[in-house]
Structure 1
Amino acid sequence: MTFATRLLTSRPVWDRAGLTASTLCVAHCVATPFVAAVLPIIAAMEGATHAVLALAVLSFSLLAFVPGFRKHRRSPVLGLGSAGVALIWLPVVLPESMSSESLETIATVSGGIAMVVAHLVNLYFCRTCRVCAESAC
């Protein structure tokens, strides 16, 4: 098996990447109002930054949760991950007229926390699984 194949099929790598992206998403959402008050140019770039982080969260989630579900059949992880992705994407897809800063913050922080928990639980299932212990997860 080549390095690239191993990397693409290694769920723990994607769970760790998803943890990082989700944590960055939460940190970005919490810090942006404070930083934007000091540096107004940050406020102008906030929408694009959120979209990029949301895309990273979605990508890493698919790479971690779909193979994890196929192997472990733990639907709560898939459900929590899906809810987290939906909450993170809500401010990106919601029209500006229907959104507010507080709604965006609540949705993104809640979604980020849900994603962090889902990735941690997914990693736990991989570590405690007999099938994963016998072969690379």
Structure 2
Amino acid sequence: MNILKFNLDKIGISASLLCAIHCAALPFIMTLLPLWGLSFIANDWVEIGMIGLSLILGIWSLGKSFKLHKRTTPVIFLILGFGSIAIGHFSGLEVLEPILIPLGGLIIAFSHLINLKYLKKCRVNHIHQH
């Protein structure tokens, strides 16, 4: 069962980092995407899908893990990460968007790393208690 949780965190880290890279790099490579046949990457639905996937993985993984380690730190960072993304998208301040959205993705990845750390501690403590 713990293996599934570790995998969810690793998938969550990957999804969040991909989202951050996508959002940070997109303004710089927007003009080259059609030449490479990758113009679909600039589609709003791709971005929404990546954010949605990160959200689902984050809630699922951190929610299940919280039952074991009872630590709120990963959840707080998950909320901060999605808050940063939401402010970047909906604040209307276009100058902040390329900063806040990738930052949010990195914060979400960090929440999964913290979660992994707590899960490993739980597993080690559980082994030592038995």
1:80 correspondence with 2:73: no
- Secondary structure, counterpart of 2:14 in structure 1: helix
Aligned equivalent of 1:124: 117
Structure 1 unaligned regions, length at least 5 = 1-5
**1:101-128 superposed Cα distances (whole Å, 9 cap, x missing partner):** x322112111111111111110011111
Letter in 1 for 2:22: H
Identity of aligned residues (%): 25
Aligned equivalent of 2:48: 51
> What is the deviation of 1:91?
4.6
Give the ranges of 4+ consecutive aligned residues of structure 1 lying more than 6 Å apart after TM superposition: none
- Aligned 8 A contact 1:15 1:122 in 2: yes
Structure 2 unaligned regions, length at least 5 = none
Aligned equivalent of 2:61: 64
Letter in 1 for 2:110: V
Letter in 1 for 2:55: L
User: What TM-score results when the alignment is normalised by the length of structure 1?
Assistant: 0.76
Aligned equivalent of 1:39: 33
User: What TM-score results when the alignment is normalised by the length of structure 2?
Assistant: 0.80
The verdict on how the C-alpha distance between 1:52 and 1:23 changes in structure 2, with shifts beyond 3 A counting, is: same
- Aligned 8 A contact 1:18 1:57 in 2: yes
* 1:76-115 mapped onto 2 (5 Å cutoff): 76-92=73-89, 94=90, 98-100=92-94, 102-115=95-108
- Aligned 8 A contact 1:22 1:112 in 2: yes
Number of equivalenced pairs:
124
